Every structure is written in structure tokens, then in C-alpha cells.
Amino acid sequence: MTSLILRRLGFAAFTIAFVSMVMFAAVEALPGNVCTSFLQRFAQGPRLERCIEQQGLDRSAIVRYGDWVSGAVQGDFGYSLKKRKPINELIWDRFSNTMILGGIAALLAIPFAVFLGIAAGVRRDKPLDLSLSGAAMLAMTIPEFVTATALIYVFAILLQWFPAVTILPPGASFMQMLPNIVLPVVVLSAVLIAHIMRMVRASVIDAMSSDYVQMARLKGVPEHQIIRRHAVPNAMIPALNVIALTIAWLLAGVVVVEKVFNFPGLGTLMIEAIYDRDLPLVQTIALIFSVIYVGVNLIADLAALALDPRQRRKGH
Amino acid sequence: MLNLLQTTVSKPSGAIGLGLTVLHVLIALLAPVIAPYDPTMQNADAILLAPNAEHWMGTDSLGRDVFSRVVHGGRLAISVTFAAAVIATLWGGFAGIFFGAVGGRVDEYSMRIVDAFLSMPWLLFLLLIISIGGAGPATIIPTLGFFYGVAILRVVRGAAMQVATRDYVTAARARGENIWPIISREMFPNLSDILLVEGAMRWSWMLLAFSSLSFLGFGATPPTPDWGLMVAQQRSLISTAPWAVFWPCFALSTLIIGINLLADAIGKALGLDRATAIAV
């Protein structure tokens, strides 16, 4: 058991190291460097020299990578080119806003999706299942910016229930934030619910046709008890990994949704940084998102390990 | 092939999917013939006109004909994502079959790297690459092709591992054939179904990704008529001219839904269960 946990931790550490290396290498591979790409046609003379000195580009790539990693571990992400500030001063407000948005969406979506998935799965191919699956297909295929635009048109412009764009003073309280995040949360949750529901449905159907459910039926166990005691607990384990992968989608979806609602989160900051060609800031935000992603997957893996005795045996 | 087509369209969802996909591709191909106006032509006397007899879908904030722009709006997205889907299916499919066929250490270590790639939020990575290489098809096609190829690789490799244990593969091994003929003559023909369905499914997700990039300002560049970009540009005027936003949204959504339904129906017609496959 301990060795399995250690192996999962090891893989998470490997993934983060790998991702950070790929990101660093991608920037290294570009023609020119961080400073020339930022300054464009002004990349000459004292401005270029100052930038190179500030970013420490005169050192070798390996030294800079080591510096970047050890800095990041200590919460020092270097210096933003465009905003002329240390990056860690820029990101924490944005980080907590994004976490609130994503966290609420996930907390609302997961239980709801699990419930709908079970309801659809035990009524396979009945009207309820068909309509839920159809709705899930629509929620998954229609782009987030389309859903968001439609919601803005109906609820912010026609009905005027919620603001169309987020207006937040820095350090706003949660209650001030609430009306601003209703629509973004709805958009994010809709896609989350669709993905998780489909997976829960599939694994409930799988469990309902298994031998142990057949056995329980032959014993004369009432159907609702079969569902509650036998099918659902077993169906939850494969669903766990998908929930984790979907949370990962959430991190990407949040970039688009934040942009639509002009929400002051990490996603909008990343887009601004790309417009400004502020590579150190882009790298930092991409790294933070990746670490969250790997962390969520690790938690799901460990939870599955705790819930499923079969996975604790060797061979997994 | 004809048989497959018949089974696919025998269910309403398959027929709708095929219909929408073919319709959209035809419109994109024939756009210059269909469109009544030049999609980039601005007209200061016809700004934000509501739909009427001359402009069926109204005009936008620069007086451009929305119908002509919507008709042209899929050309870039469809061609970029189709190219990327072909690349993804080819490399992901080939590598997937290869690792499934060789197995052993090579397979095990490669899958670790594949898993690491799959556990990267790739849209963010794409944004990082765009901020380095600049927006546009030259950056987007290879990047989409690469990342979606990794996902295809994972699925195909799983299927290839099962095919590798079949008798006809064992027989070919016993005949002393080496790995390439086994892959191309024995395994590939038995995995082409999965490749077709995976490729089509990923194509629809790529369209979603590309239009999101366009919306964010990293896909098509103005004045190119592109659905995602059109929504981004006309969004601020949605209360006065909803038609300039609605029609590109409608066109984009129907295309993605169409391809998705079609891929799903082909999968079912071939007897593949994609219900548990994850849309990454």
C-alpha cells in the first residue's frame, strides 16, 4: 500500500518535472529569446541589455531552468516584462478568484452530475435517459463562448438579472462577487455535468449488467437496494478518474469563460500576457495550471486506491 | 463502405449528423458562389441593418453582409482542423499500433511519457506555443495535430494490444514475418475502424478548440470571416444587433454537433462502444 502511494506520488512529481521542462524548452526553442520577442523592433541597444540583465539571459539555459524551478518552489516566479512587477505580486489575487470560480462550479456540478448519471444509467434507453444524454451531448459540443454569449443575451441584457461583465473592485468580498459569478459558474458547470454524467451513466450500466448484480437479483434483493448497495458504489470508482480529468478540462475552459465575462482571474491574465508577449508571465500561469491539474489527478488516484481494494493488489 | 453508410444513416441521429456535415462542407466549398456579397466588403451606408430582403442575416458593425460572412466563416476552421485531424490520426494511429504491437519495455516507458503529455492541460500549452510562435494555421495545425494525436495513440494502442494477441497475428509471427508487415498487413486493416471513428470524433473537438482560439483572438486574423472571430468582434453590440452574433454561433454549433453525431453513429454502426471513451 505504502509503495503504491509512493509510486503515485513519484509519477505526479515526474509529470510536473516533465511539464515544466517541456514548457521551458518550448520557450528556449524559439528564434531569439524572451527579450527580443517582447521588445520586437525595439530589441536593440540599452533597452535590450537592460532586459537581458533583468531576466538573467546571459546565463546558460540549464542554470536558468534550475533557477526558475527553485524560485517557483519558493513562490518566486521572476519578473513580468510588461507589468514591470514581480510575478508573484500579480497572480495571487487572480489565483484566488479563479479558484473560487472553478471551485464553486466543481462543487455544484459533481454531486448533481453523479445523481443524473445514476438516474440515467438505471433507466437505460428510457425517455429520461435519452433526453439527459441528448442534453449532455449538446452541452459538450456547443462551445463555451457560444453558451456564455447566449446566457449573457438572455439573463444580462433581456432580463437584466445579472451583470454582463464582471465589475469587481480589488479585494471584493465574496458577497460582492456572487452576482458576478452566477453566469460563469452556470457555463462551466453545464460542461462539467455533461462529461461526468456520461461517464457515471456508462459505469452504472456496466455495473448493472455485472455478475454480482445478477446474483443479487436471483437472491431476490429489491431493485432499489441493488442500485444503492451494489451498483452505485462499484460504478463510482471508474467515474472518479473521469471527474479528475474533467476538472482538468475546467482549467482550460476557465480561460475562455473568464475572457467572455471579463472575469479577473488567472485565465484573463494569461490572455493579456499572451497579447503582450510577456513570456515569463505566460510560463508561470501555465505552470500553475499544470500543477493544479496534476494535483487533482493525484488526489483522484489516491481516492480510488482507498476505495478499491482490487487496485491495492499488485499488478496495478 | 456502402454498407457502413447505410447502417449509419438508418438511425435518425446518424442521418442528421451526415446531413449537417455534408451540408457544411458543401457550403464551405461553394462559398464564393453562394455568397451574394464580398464577405470583407465594408459599407458605411449599411451598418447594423436588421435582416431584410437584401441582407438575409442583416449586416454587422462595419456594414458587412452577415450571410456572406457566415457562409465563408467555416472555410478556415474546417480546413485547419481537418488537416490537424488527419495529422493526429496518422501519427497517433501509427504510433498506437506500433506500441501495441511491440509491447514490453519500449511500450511501457513510452506510455509513461504519453501519460505525462495527457496530464498537461494542452490548451494552455497551445496558448504558450502561440505566444512564442505567433497565432495562425502554421502554429495551430501541428500543435493540435500533435496533442490530439497523443490521445488517439492511447486509445489505438489499447485496441492494438488486443489485436496483437489474435491468432492471425500469432500466425504471422510464426511465419517469421517481421514487425512492419505485421503492422501494415495484419494489424492496420483490423484497426482502421477505430482510427476512422477516433479521427472524426477528434475533428469535432478540434473545431471547438479552434473556434475558441479564434474567439480569444489567436486563431483567424481580421478581416478573415471566421465564426469564432465574428462572435468576438460583434459581441459588444449584441443588444442592438443580435443577428450578427447569433448566426455565426448557430453555424458553428450545428457543424460541431453534426460531426459529433456522425462519428458516434459510425462508431455504433461498426459495433464500437465509445460510451466509456473519454473526450479529451
Minimum-distance CB partner of A153 among B132, B212, B242: B242
For A167-187, what is the mean pLDDT? 79
Q: How far apart are CA A224 and CA B9, in angstroms?
A: 37
Collapsing DSSP states into helix, strand and coil, what is residue B59? Answer: strand
Q: Do A274 and B123 make contact, defined as CB atoms within 8 angstroms? A: no
Residue B280 has pLDDT above 50, yes or no: no
Cell numbers standing for residue A273: 500576457
Which of A81-90, A243-252, B63-72, B190-199 is least confident? A243-252
Which residues does chain A have within 8 Å of residue B123's beta carbon, measured at their own beta carbons? 252, 255
B278 pLDDT more than 50: no
Q: Using alpha carbons, list the distances in angstroms from residue B46 to B39, B43, B59, B73, B246.
A: 14, 6, 7, 20, 19
Q: In the prediction, which pLDDT does A316 show?
A: 43
Q: What is the DSSP string of B131-165?
A: HHH-SSHHHHHHHHHHHHHHHHHHHHHHHHHHHTT
- At B211, list the grid cell: 473556434
Q: Identify whether the C-beta of residue A215 lies closer than 8 Å to the C-beta of residue A292.
A: no
CB contact under 8 A, A14 and B116: yes
Residues 6 or more apart whose CB falls under 8 angstroms from that of B221 comprise: B135, B136, B229
- Say which CATH number the domain at B214 has: 1.10.3720.10
Q: Identify the weakest region by mean pLDDT among A133-142, B16-25, B121-130, B246-255.
A: B121-130
Residue A135 near chain B (CB below 8 Å)? no
Say which residue, B264 or B1, is predicted with more confidence.
B264
Q: Which residues of A are less than 8 Å from B121 in CB distance?
A: 248, 251-252, 286, 289-290, 293
Q: Which phi and psi angles does B239 have, rounded to 5°?
A: -75, -30
Decide: helix, strand or coil at residue A79.
strand
DSSP state of A298: H
Amino acid B273: pLDDT: 61
**Å between A170 CA and nearest CA of chain B:** 24
For residue B85, what are the domain limits? 2-277
Name the residue in chain B with its Cα closest to that of A244: B119
Contact at CB, B124 and A286, closer than 8 angstroms: yes
Query: Which among B6, B2, B14 is positioned nearest to B197, based on CA atoms?
Result: B14
Pairwise CB contact (< 8 Å): A149 & B130:
no
Answer whether B204 sits within 8 Å of A141, measured CB to CB. Answer: yes
A157 reaches B (C-beta below 8 A): yes
Query: Which DSSP state fits B123?
Result: H
Contact criterion met (CB below 8 Å) for B202 and B141:
no
How far is Cα A101 from Cα A254, in angstroms, rounded to an integer? 8
CA distance A205 to A235: 8
* pLDDT exceeds cutoff 50 at B173: yes
Please count the structural domains in chain B: 1
Expressed in angstroms, the distance from the first to the final Cα of chain B is 28
As a whole number of angstroms, the distance between CA B102 and CA B151 comes to 19
CB contact under 8 A, A146 and B280: no
List, as ranges, residues 239-258 from A with C-beta within 8 Å of B.
242, 245, 248-249, 251-252, 255-256
Q: pLDDT tens for residues B176-200? A: 888 888 888 888 888 888 899 899 9
Residue A112 has pLDDT above 90, yes or no: yes
Flag if B112 and A11 touch (Cβ within 8 Å): yes
Are the C-beta atoms of residues B240 and B59 closer than 8 Å to each other?
no
Kindly report the average pLDDT of chain A as a whole number.
84
Q: How far is CA A230 from CA A122, A133, A207, A214, A227, in A?
A: 12, 23, 8, 10, 6
